[in-house]
Amino acid sequence: MRTLTFGFLALTLAGSLQAGPKVYKAYPYDGSPFDKHAELGKEWKDLANQWKEKVAPEPVLKRQLEIIEAISAQEPNWVDGYWQAADAAFQYGNTFSDPNDFAKARKLFERGKKHADNCLKIQAENPLCKFYLGVNVGKMASIDGIFASLKNAKLVEKMWVETTESPYNYQFSEKTSLQGASRYALGMFYRLVPDFIVMKWLFDVRGDISKSVAYHRENLHYDAPNVCSRTMFAVSLICEGKSDFTTQSGQEGLAQIREARNLPVTSALYASCAKDLPRLEKDPKMACGYETSRQQETSEDEFKRQSKQTAANSH
């Protein structure tokens, strides 16, 4: 299985950080349909092995999505097929980093969402299905804009928090796990969701930069660091330090950026993070709204402006 590119309220946040990572059961993965559909299964495994720890080109990711969808169509109750299809759609969608291609990317993330929805219809408590539903809905939000997508924020938060509360972990690769990735995802979530009281009133969610930093710290307890986990940890720290490199958090964030530069780029998503590192170091004011697809606006003033514009357009 490819590395997830992108990814602990069980004991309370502080208690979890003090106690260290929770011990999880190994996820009971079923790969038997790959053996049943031997030709497609062999092609899937060959591609996965060939491009392990490498940036797979668009045709390869497209083919992987086609293969897993073809097997899943013949195995309609294969839960692990659906979340792998949701992952494959997400990976493929991340190859389209040019804003002119966002419509193509969004269609793929929507495709991934449908696979995750189908997954949960069969097994409502499956943590991988929940995780990938959040991943694909969240990625659509990054394209549409945070303010335009707040109606879905509670769903995304719920899916990722419930993933951390699951008794299972799944090892995507030697360096990346489901439990680590879900904490990485929540670290991004609590930074990008705006932090003002109206959010809670209207959407039942609210950003929290301290919680964001804590989730990113916990991610490092579960998974080895990669370019994106270091980058997203860095921007949360810099945001916590009010985009000021002279603060303690800003200094730690700057150190994380420099650490990220030394890590290998092994996926399309990692490449997106890596190319932004010089800009982030040059302009720390990007930190709070940074996302690989587009810079997000998270201020209360901008929320009010967009709300007024939406109201005016509705009349």
- Rounded Cα distance between 155 and 140, Å, is 13
- Rounded Cα distance between 137 and 202, Å, is 19
What's the confidence (pLDDT) of residue 54?
86
pLDDT of 91 strictly over 90: yes
DSSP state of 100: G
pLDDT of 311 strictly over 80: no
- 305: confidence class by pLDDT, cuts 50, 70, 90: confident
- 269: confidence class by pLDDT, cuts 50, 70, 90: confident
Radius of gyration over every alpha carbon of the chain, rounded to an integer in angstroms: 19
Backbone phi, psi, residue 26, to 5°: -70, 135
Residues 6+ apart with CB under 8 A from 114: none
- 148: confidence class by pLDDT, cuts 50, 70, 90: confident
pLDDT of 12 strictly over 60: no
Residues in a beta bridge with 25: 168
- Give percent above pLDDT 70 in the chain: 88
Stretch 146-152: mean pLDDT? 89
For the ranges 72-81, 115-124, 268-277, 281-290, the lowest mean pLDDT is seen at 268-277
- Rounded Cα distance between 134 and 137, Å, is 5
Fold of 13-310: 1.25.40
pLDDT of 237 strictly over 90: yes
Residues in a beta bridge with 43: none
State if pTM tops 0.85: yes
pLDDT of 293 strictly over 90: no
Stretch 8-24: mean pLDDT? 48
For the ranges 196-200, 212-216, 297-301, the lowest mean pLDDT is seen at 297-301
Token pair of 153, please?
A: 């924020």
Nearest Cα residue to 7 out of 166, 214, 207, 164: 164
Token pair of 231, please?
A: 């980058």
Going along the chain, which residue ranges are E strands? 25-26, 168-169
Token pair of 176, please?
A: 């990346």
- Looking up tokens 């990938």, which residue turns up? 132
Stretch 5-16: mean pLDDT? 34
CA distances from 140 to 79, 112, 144, 235, 265 (A): 23, 10, 6, 21, 23
Express each pLDDT in 190-209 by its tens digit. 999 999 888 898 899 999 99
What's the confidence (pLDDT) of residue 21?
67
- 309: confidence class by pLDDT, cuts 50, 70, 90: low
Asked whether the beta carbons of 197 and 206 are under 8 A apart, the reply is yes
| Average pLDDT of the chain, as a whole number | 89
Stretch 102-124: mean pLDDT? 97
Helix axes 178-192, 153-165, angle to 10 degrees: 150
Stretch 16-28: mean pLDDT? 72
pLDDT of 139 strictly over 50: yes
Stretch 22-46: mean pLDDT? 96
Nearest Cα residue to 187 out of 248, 125, 234, 126: 234
How many other C-beta atoms can be found within 10 angstroms of the C-beta atom of residue 15? 11
What's the confidence (pLDDT) of residue 15?
37
How many other C-beta atoms can be found within 10 angstroms of the C-beta atom of residue 51? 17
For the ranges 7-21, 59-73, 141-155, 210-224, the lowest mean pLDDT is seen at 7-21
